[in-house]
Structure 1
Amino acid sequence: MATLQTIRSKGPLLVIVIGLALFAFIAGDAWKILQPHQGKQDVGEVNGKTLSAQEYQQMVDELSEVIKLTNGLNSLNEDQLTNIKDQVWNTYVTNEVIANEAKKLGLQVTKAELQAVINAGSHPLLMQTPFRNPQTGAFDKDMLKKFLVDYANLDANKMPAQYVEYYQKMGNFWNFIEKTLSETLLAEKYQNLIGKSLISNPVAAEDAFNARTEQTDMLLAAVPYSSISDSTITVSKEEIKKLYDSKKESFKQPVETRNIKYVDVRVVPSDADRKAVQEEVTEYTNQLISTTKDYVSFVRSTGSTIAYSDIPVSKSALPNDVASRLDSTSVNEVYGPYYNQTDDSYNAFKIVAKVSAPDSIQFRQIQVYADTDEKTTELADSIYNALKAGADFAEVAKKYAQTGEATWINARGWEGTTVDADNATLINALIEQPVSEISNLKIGQSNIILQVMNKKQMQDKYKVAIVKCPVEFSKETYNDTYNKFSQFVAQSTTIEALEKNAEENGYTVLPRMNFRSDEHYVGGVKSTREALKWVFDAKEGEVSPLYECGENDHLMVVALETINPAGYTNINQVSDMLRSEIIRDKKAEKIMAEMKGFNTLAQVKGMKDAVSDSVKHVTFSAPAYISVTRASEPVISAVASKTAVNATSAPIKGNAGVYMIQVYNKNKNAETLDSKTEQATLVNMISRYAPQQCIYELREKNEIVDKRYLFF
């Protein structure tokens, strides 16, 4: 129970809201998305090993619950869920490819090793659990053991259903942590094996030291490539093909992609819609003036995006436009109506109360629950009377299998969140109840014997009834926009027609190259899964039907231009980039030919369009930035390090022009070479990225198929 009390302190609302189902968010319609695909429910595979949609969904659910628990959240938004889905998939793929390599190498994580890591308690993953010592913040294996013993001996028939569900939730949480820890340890073994195989030597150490500590000051003159018009340079197809072949490996793409064109229309409010919202909020403002009770129902009836909370909150928990006006408004005064441009809304608010309330509260409690309400009330009264008569709180709590330990909670846990009536009762009691006083609260089907121990950081807090109504489009506006766009889509059955009709109707056709199925959203617009599925099922040249997407405020049509199979990118798609590189090289050749025989900066400065500059503190270890050409030039750093003082270099082909440099000073900082330290630094540096690069290469070489877009 001590563990439970510590865990509850992670989020103050968990004190009451412990009846949430373990995986509530899949209790409803989550699996309906799979029904159309029954019989082909594999979301992907790694080297022939398939992952079913059910297995994937379970992994997503597990991680979702962990994130909600550790962050004190009751739900996750669409973006958070999308990130979790990608994290689950990427983790699964990485674990599979590592496990495959580890098996070949004989690497494994035994139960004894796993237990030793848990006993040591220093692994970062363990620090993300609630099983931490409240004084030191360190992972406490004894707290974990106590919880696991309590969980193993849990008698569901003798404890309230809320506690049973809470224990089950925490049990599943620990199972997830244990499984993840085992996978992480195997990955660390593999990465350490790679990292420990990397060594340095005294020669490399000295080179790295000199590259970092030797600085060069120089003068330079250059002729930028921009001084020559691209139109004067001729590039043949054969030249492009030759360059493509030489760089072909850099154009390799691991998965099939699509080149698409799409039209995305966002439905926006009309002037009439805006006026209607303004008039509506004006009427609500008048009603708010005369409202003196049941602000919850009134604010709800207005459709305000900010629900009324009967708990005083700090300014920071309120919308900025409201918080900035509080000081100029009195209690029971209504401010508004007014327009807020930031969120495009019309607003009014009323300060219902202003109080001095703590930001941190320490309390202890005994939760009382019996078979019936009558027995619960009778038992709670008995405990309350005993404590009022002088009984020891902790001893009484232990009698009912609870610790009675004091817990600190912070207002950040409830401010800015939706709080139900039971939680509001508890929180208001904590705020209003004097220190050391004991109360007996009826909350839900149980009673809570509550004692406030301490209060800190008293500050002004407010109860504010806020009417915030965003300007939204009406049904008529949506229908008008839909009908116009629908007619456009019906007339645009080819890509050519789509582009022609878009220009005539005031729409914009947007291109998107190399669109991948794991990007989730077409054009970055939410709820475009059906459009995404169409893209990866269509044939080249086809145009999609009209899709209603976004938050019911977007209309979209998509055309599939090209299918790019996995492998090497088609030369036509990179020809412009290759052409630019060839043009740059030919400009360099032309300029360098004009500089032939030059041995002074003055000669370069005499050339048409030449520029000059001085650059200081150039080192080999970092590319030099040349301000007159606005370019980073690594080659300048390299040449400068090898050029003697008072010497002038030959012409140098750079990224933005052809340069000639003259070194006039070199110096070295006061640091002395410590070969062993320098070698260790080099090893540490490469060990940080080499294992990850190795894993990336493994993923590239393994056969990975991602079909999640069909289901999620």
Structure 2
Amino acid sequence: MALINKIREKSGIAVTVIAISLILFMVGGDLLGPNSLLGGSNNQVVGEIAGKDIDIKDFQSRVDAFRQNYEAQSGRSLSENELASLRDQAWNQFIVDIAYKKQFDKLGLSVTDQELFDMVQGNHISPSIQQAFSDPTTGRFDKNAVINYLKNLKTLPAEQMKSWANFEKSLREERTRAKYENMLRLSTYIPKAQSEKEYMAQNTKANVKYLYVPYFSIVDTTIKVTDSQLETYLSEHREEYKGTDTRSIEYVTFPVQPAKDDSSALYTEIKELARGLATAKNDSSFASMNTDIPLPINMSLANMSDQLKEAVKTFVPGGVYGPYREGNTYYIYKYGGTRTDTVSSARASHILIRAENQSDSAKAAAKVKAEGILAQIRAGANFEALAATSSADPGSAQRGGDLGYFQNNGAMVKPFEEAVFSATAPGLINRLIESQFGYHIIKVTATKSNTLYHIAAIGKTIEASQATRDEAYRKADEFVNSVKNKEEFDEAVKKNKALVLATANRIPETATNVNAIQNGREIVRWAFKDDSKINSVSPVFETEDQYVVAVLTGKSEADKVTIDDFRDELTTKVRNQIKSEQITAKLKGATGDLETIAKKYGAGALVESATDISLATGFLTSAGFDPIALGKAFGLKPGQKTDVFTGENGVFIMELINKTDAPKIADFTQYKTQLTQSLESRSSYLVNEAIRENAKIKDKRAKFF
């Protein structure tokens, strides 16, 4: 598109040059692409696994085989997302063939022909075979269907025979891998000493009292953190921070917006449709035949746009309303009244606090944080502001936590849905709601309603004419030709008030979107090209409804970690270190009981008690699960206090009131079983991680796709 538009503008160029340009346009992907011979690189390696290079031709050949098999089974072509998924499958297959097979061969693991026969048509049928040959109506597996298929296999087309051979190959690999993982899983061993230690951790109980000064008691803005301090912390904790390859850009867009002539012609058309809709005997059929945007005839509030939600309040049955414009689409509606639905709709906002991992301590810390935020909201803090700064749900956080309307049909996880749809009035739900995603703080903004609105809707989208698209490209091309670096880019943006500068930070190499730009893959590939330097300006990129020009502003490299890669996280760590030093210095040498010490310290010091706690499940009211504090407390004798020390989220002085040792027992089988099952459940994941790490995998697919 871009090259053709340029040719139109340069109409005075000789016919010969135009012909050459068209030839280059048609074959440019082969001759001038980023991995072509003339494009400056003949590197055709798509990745490296265990020291073995994976050639792009071999990789593409496997993807093509997967695609042919998929399309033969589904009877349709793949979407771009499905093709990307097949590329992932092909890549993982190479990892199995190379990295895993090395491990299998060392141990002499294999699947014999007799074993394969048993898996396909014997007594131990593979789940994959059962799925492939189950009756689609009853779901029942039919072994005779497998046998009949194999009897006729040689009469089938070559593609199907090849597909079956690949299927049997995957069955062998699947069984070999299962043998390997089972062997490692069954080699799990928990010694008696470890079982006894687990028993003691669960059953030794203590009552403690403690002084706790949380880090958040000191306002962050009072602590200044320098880059030098961040560098020192990073160098001391280098192993904790793994680098990734990312790029950061700034960009401007040149929207392809329909011109006045484009919209006026459509406006005339939709007014004619409004007259037809008003007199149509079957308004539903008339609407479905004439709309560009299919909409359900019976809508709940959850199905409606914000504009329609407001407008429908004024509708009278039988009336035709509109046109209403939403973006580049005009809508008209014929209203037919309401009825009651079996499904209800409601609207809510939430703040999600997610645990850093699945450990008990991480979950406890997340709960403490969520309870703190809930307490702030109860005290009058702004829900929307806290959602924007604290919620782990980025989509809703940008809207102050708003999730819009949704139905009680499983659209939300069960605990969340039950909490919202049981609310009888709008407002804050005065408790935390826990789901598999974390802890939710919920504000119901519209209670449940089961009203359905009968609305026949016609939506007509304004399409930009070719002249309009050409004009948008001309502006983008003119802009990019006027700038050579970031300084000139910034200056040009300042001069052109119509341009809005946007930023996209830390884009991974595999990204397909750039912020809200849904098909930004070419922008990402440009940013990662070897010859794209910091401050360099991109060519014009064409997306669905706009042209984009970007400037490269930053790079992070997997093998070169800098403080900018983890600035926020490092700043929090260093700031807490400084807070710890300040709190410790103020508490150092304090005497008396904990209440006296807290009083001397002043605001921020808490004195609390915890009863009947254990090392395994000890939970401190304000501090949450803090293994450092628990370990210190259980190491004391009754009546003793620790010195001042730093815990997970603040500074402590622990005092042991009393401790009851676990009763002596002879059989620790129960605890051995618990530890064994826990380790076995993680064995498959740990095996995968170990093999992949040992293979030193370098995935370069993003340079090609």
Class of the TM-score when normalised by the shorter of the 2 chains: 0.5 to 0.7
> Which residue identity lines up with residue 87 of structure 2 in the other structure?
K
Partner of 1:224: 214
> Which residue identity lines up with residue 698 of structure 1 in the other structure?
I
Partner of 1:702: 695
Contact 2:333–2:455 (CA<8 Å) still a contact in 1? no
Alpha-carbon distance between aligned partners in 2 of 1:66 and 1:178, rounded to the nearest angstrom? 13
Alpha-carbon distance between aligned partners in 1 of 2:208 and 2:223, rounded to the nearest angstrom? 32
Contact 1:338–1:347 (CA<8 Å) still a contact in 2? yes
Cα 1:268–1:500 change in 2 (3 A) is same
- Unaligned 5+ segments in structure 1 are 1-30, 155-163, 308-312, 352-462
TM-score (norm 1): 0.62
Residue deviations 1:366-397 (CA, integer Å, cap 9, x gap): xxxxxxxxxxxxxxxxxxxxxxxxxxxxxxxx
Contact 1:230–1:583 (CA<8 Å) still a contact in 2? yes
Counterparts of residues 98-497 of structure 1 (less than 5 Å)? 98-118=100-120, 119-121=122-124, 123-131=126-134, 137=139, 139-154=141-156, 174-212=164-202, 218-228=208-218, 240-253=230-243, 257-263=245-251, 265=253, 267=255, 279-287=268-276, 302=290, 304-306=292-294, 320=303, 339=324, 346-347=331-332, 467-470=458-461, 485-497=476-488
Cα 1:547–1:84 change in 2 (3 A) is farther
Pair 1:652-2:652 in alignment? no
How far has the Cα of 1:201 moved from its partner?
Answer: 1.9
Alpha-carbon distance between aligned partners in 1 of 2:480 and 2:573, rounded to the nearest angstrom? 40
Pair 1:594-2:589 in alignment? no
Alpha-carbon distance between aligned partners in 2 of 1:474 and 1:623, rounded to the nearest angstrom? 68
> Which residue identity lines up with residue 602 of structure 2 in the other structure?
K
Contact 1:285–1:334 (CA<8 Å) still a contact in 2? no
How far has the Cα of 1:219 moved from its partner?
Answer: 4.4
Alpha-carbon distance between aligned partners in 2 of 1:668 and 1:279, rounded to the nearest angstrom? 86
How far has the Cα of 1:263 moved from its partner?
Answer: 1.7
How far has the Cα of 1:602 moved from its partner?
Answer: 0.8
Residue deviations 1:513-532 (CA, integer Å, cap 9, x gap): 3x442334444633333322
Which stretch of the first structure deviates more once superposed, 39-48 or 142-151?
39-48
Partner of 2:521: 529
> Which residue identity lines up with residue 523 of structure 2 in the other structure?
A
Alpha-carbon distance between aligned partners in 2 of 1:47 and 1:564, rounded to the nearest angstrom? 25
Residue deviations 1:237-268 (CA, integer Å, cap 9, x gap): 77655543332233344x7x243222253838
TM-score (norm 2): 0.62
Contact 1:133–1:139 (CA<8 Å) still a contact in 2? no
SS at match of 2:171: helix
Cα 1:306–1:250 change in 2 (3 A) is same
Pair 1:609-2:603 in alignment? yes
Alpha-carbon distance between aligned partners in 1 of 2:57 and 2:144, rounded to the nearest angstrom? 35
Cα 1:185–1:274 change in 2 (3 A) is farther
Contact 2:252–2:549 (CA<8 Å) still a contact in 1? yes
Equivalent residue pairs, number: 541
Cα 1:498–1:95 change in 2 (3 A) is farther
Contact 1:281–1:348 (CA<8 Å) still a contact in 2? no
SS at match of 1:701: helix
Alpha-carbon distance between aligned partners in 2 of 1:117 and 1:49, rounded to the nearest angstrom? 32
Alpha-carbon distance between aligned partners in 2 of 1:191 and 1:206, rounded to the nearest angstrom? 28
Contact 2:195–2:672 (CA<8 Å) still a contact in 1? yes
SS at match of 2:173: helix
Contact 2:526–2:532 (CA<8 Å) still a contact in 1? no
Cα 1:345–1:622 change in 2 (3 A) is farther
Pair 1:685-2:688 in alignment? no
Alpha-carbon distance between aligned partners in 2 of 1:60 and 1:316, rounded to the nearest angstrom? 42
How far has the Cα of 1:58 moved from its partner?
Answer: 4.4
Alpha-carbon distance between aligned partners in 2 of 1:698 and 1:123, rounded to the nearest angstrom? 25
How far has the Cα of 1:202 moved from its partner?
Answer: 2.3
How far has the Cα of 1:214 moved from its partner?
Answer: 5.5
Quick one: percent identity of the two aligned structures? 21
Q: Which has the larger radius of gyration?
A: 1
Alpha-carbon distance between aligned partners in 1 of 2:98 and 2:132, rounded to the nearest angstrom? 25
Structure 1 residue corresponding to 2:79, chosen from 77, 92, 97: 77
Alpha-carbon distance between aligned partners in 2 of 1:682 and 1:266, rounded to the nearest angstrom? 60
Partner of 2:8: none
How far has the Cα of 1:600 moved from its partner?
Answer: 2.9
- Unaligned 5+ segments in structure 2 are 1-26, 337-453
Alpha-carbon distance between aligned partners in 2 of 1:125 and 1:671, rounded to the nearest angstrom? 50
How far has the Cα of 1:588 moved from its partner?
Answer: 1.4
Contact 1:221–1:610 (CA<8 Å) still a contact in 2? no
Pair 1:711-2:700 in alignment? no
SS at match of 1:221: strand
Contact 2:297–2:456 (CA<8 Å) still a contact in 1? no
SS at match of 1:203: helix
Counterparts of residues 500-519 of structure 1 (less than 5 Å)? 501-502=492-493, 505=497, 507-513=500-506, 515-519=507-511
SS at match of 2:152: helix
> Which residue identity lines up with residue 132 of structure 2 in the other structure?
T
Partner of 1:453: none
Alpha-carbon distance between aligned partners in 2 of 1:547 and 1:632, rounded to the nearest angstrom? 53
Residue deviations 1:206-237 (CA, integer Å, cap 9, x gap): 33344445665654432233444667767777
Residue deviations 1:342-373 (CA, integer Å, cap 9, x gap): 9966255799xxxxxxxxxxxxxxxxxxxxxx
Cα 1:232–1:286 change in 2 (3 A) is closer
SS at match of 1:96: helix
> Which residue identity lines up with residue 46 of structure 1 in the other structure?
I
Cα 1:349–1:85 change in 2 (3 A) is farther
Residue deviations 1:303-362 (CA, integer Å, cap 9, x gap): 62439xxxxx99799x9459999xx999xx9976565979966255799xxxxxxxxxxx
Alpha-carbon distance between aligned partners in 2 of 1:465 and 1:170, rounded to the nearest angstrom? 47
Cα 1:594–1:296 change in 2 (3 A) is closer
Alpha-carbon distance between aligned partners in 2 of 1:38 and 1:531, rounded to the nearest angstrom? 19
SS at match of 1:567: coil
Root-mean-square deviation (CA), in Å?
5.0
Alpha-carbon distance between aligned partners in 1 of 2:72 and 2:641, rounded to the nearest angstrom? 66
Cα 1:579–1:285 change in 2 (3 A) is closer
Contact 1:334–1:350 (CA<8 Å) still a contact in 2? yes
Cα 1:172–1:33 change in 2 (3 A) is farther
> Which residue identity lines up with residue 531 of structure 1 in the other structure?
I
Alpha-carbon distance between aligned partners in 2 of 1:275 and 1:211, rounded to the nearest angstrom? 76
Alpha-carbon distance between aligned partners in 1 of 2:72 and 2:661, rounded to the nearest angstrom? 54
> Which residue identity lines up with residue 262 of structure 1 in the other structure?
E
SS at match of 2:643: coil
Partner of 1:88: 90
Partner of 2:343: none
Which stretch of the first structure deviates more once superposed, 82-91 or 680-689?
82-91
